[in-house]
Amino acid sequence: MQQVYVAKDLSFDRDVGLKVPKNVSAEKRFSRSARMSAKVNHSNVAKTLDYFDEDGRGHLVEELIPGTDLAKRLGDEFDILDPHLAAHVVHLAKGVAAAHHVGVFHRDLKPSNIVVSEDSSLNAVKITDFGIAKMVEQELSDAFKDENSITGSQTAMGALPYMSPEMIDSPKKAGLAADIWAVGAILYRLIAGKPPYGSGLGAVPRILEAKSLPKPLLLSVKAQFEPLSEELWQIVLACLVKDPTARPNADSLVELCSRLCYSHSLRDTGTIEDFGVGTGSWGTILSDKGKRIFFHDHSYYGNSPVADQRVSFAAFPGSPRPRAFPVLPIKNKTVSNEEA
What's domain 268-329's architecture?
Answer: Beta Barrel (2.40)
In the chain, which ranges are continuous DSSP H helix? 27-37, 70-76, 83-89, 93-101, 133-143, 147-151, 154-159, 165-169, 177-192, 203-209, 218-221, 228-239, 250-258
Q: Of 3.40.1190.20, 3.30.1330.10, 3.30.565.10, 3.30.200.20, which CATH number belongs to 2-63?
A: 3.30.200.20
Predicted confidence (pLDDT) per residue in 6-27, tens digit = 999 999 999 999 988 877 666 7
Residue 53: its pLDDT value, please? 86
Residue 339: its pLDDT value, please? 42
Residue 334: its pLDDT value, please? 41
User: Domain locations in the chain?
Assistant: 2-63, 68-258, 268-329
Residue 2: its pLDDT value, please? 77
CA distances from 313 to 121, 225, 301 (A): 9, 14, 10
Phi, psi angles (nearest 5°) of residue 195:
-65, 155
Residue 4: its pLDDT value, please? 87
Residue 157: its pLDDT value, please? 59
**What angle is formed at CA 65 by the lines to CA 259 and CA 26, rounded to 5 degrees?**
105
Taking the domain 68-258, which CATH number applies?
Answer: 1.10.510.10
Is-contact 86 332, C-beta < 8 A?
no
Give me the tens of pLDDT residue by residue for the chain, a chain 340 residues long: 678 899 999 999 999 999 888 776 667 667 776 777 788 999 999 998 998 888 878 888 999 988 899 999 999 999 899 999 999 999 999 999 999 999 888 888 999 999 999 999 999 999 988 755 554 455 555 555 554 444 445 555 568 899 999 988 887 788 999 999 999 999 999 999 999 999 888 889 999 999 999 999 888 888 899 889 999 999 999 999 999 999 999 999 999 999 999 998 999 999 999 998 766 799 999 999 999 999 999 999 988 899 999 999 999 999 999 999 999 999 975 434 444 4
Tell me, what DSSP letter sits at residue 135?
H
Distance CA 138, CA 165 (A): 16
DSSP SS3 for 201: coil
